[in-house]
Amino acid sequence: MKQHTLAVLVENKAGVLSRVTNLFSRRGFNIESLAVGTCEEPGMSRITIVVIGDDEKVEQVTKQLNKLIDIIKVSDLMENERVERELALIKVAADPGTSRAEIMQIAEIFRAQIVDVGAKTMVLQVVGDTDKIDALEKLLRQYGIKELVRTGRIGILRGSKTAGTGK
């Protein structure tokens, strides 16, 4: 069982996300993360899906995705050199005093930004790969994480290769 990051270029039409996720759920796949947004082509969106599964099963679901009329292209980013990033917003308990200073130090090490400071909390914004965000989360746990929001992973191929249609 291996992690796969699939970049799915779709027509931006009602129901397209259900069509995509249906193909995963009917095969018992749990989607680890999902990110959807507009992309370089007008009228299109890119869905980035992270799933864990056997290579053959992921290959089958990729082929099924390709059959959907509203889907233009499916790429498994794991097959190539790539950059993957996630953004997380973490609201952490931070009483004025020692913990606040420590949290600010940790943020600096992780190149996280402090985007909100309240009376008893601070909000950190961090960008990085999954491991980095996991590591930061682990460190902040001791102070008390009130809320954590992650965007889901997005990825892009290195060099001139793209997951688009090349048009």
> Given the complex with other proteins, which of 68 and 145 has the nearer CB atom?
68
**Which residues lie near other proteins (CB under 8 A)?**
10-11, 14-15, 18-19, 22, 26, 56, 59-60, 63-64, 66-72
> Given the complex with other proteins, which of 2 and 111 has the nearer CB atom?
2
> Given the complex with other proteins, which of 1 and 69 has the nearer CB atom?
69
| Cβ at position 65, least distance to other proteins in Å | 9
Q: Which helix (H) or strand (E) holds 49?
A: strand 44-53
Neighbour-count burial of 126, counting CB atoms closer than 10 A to its CB (0-12 exposed, 13-18 middle, 19+ buried)? buried
User: How far apart are alpha carbons 152 and 89 in whole angstroms?
Assistant: 12
CA distances from residue 142 to 32, 119, 135 in whole angstroms, order as listed: 25, 19, 12
| Cβ at position 7, least distance to other proteins in Å | 15
Query: Contact, 7 vs 56, CB < 8 A?
Result: no
| Cβ at position 67, least distance to other proteins in Å | 6
Helices marked H in 26-156 — which ranges?
Answer: 55-67, 98-109, 130-141
| Cβ at position 164, least distance to other proteins in Å | 12
> Given the complex with other proteins, which of 18 and 142 has the nearer CB atom?
18
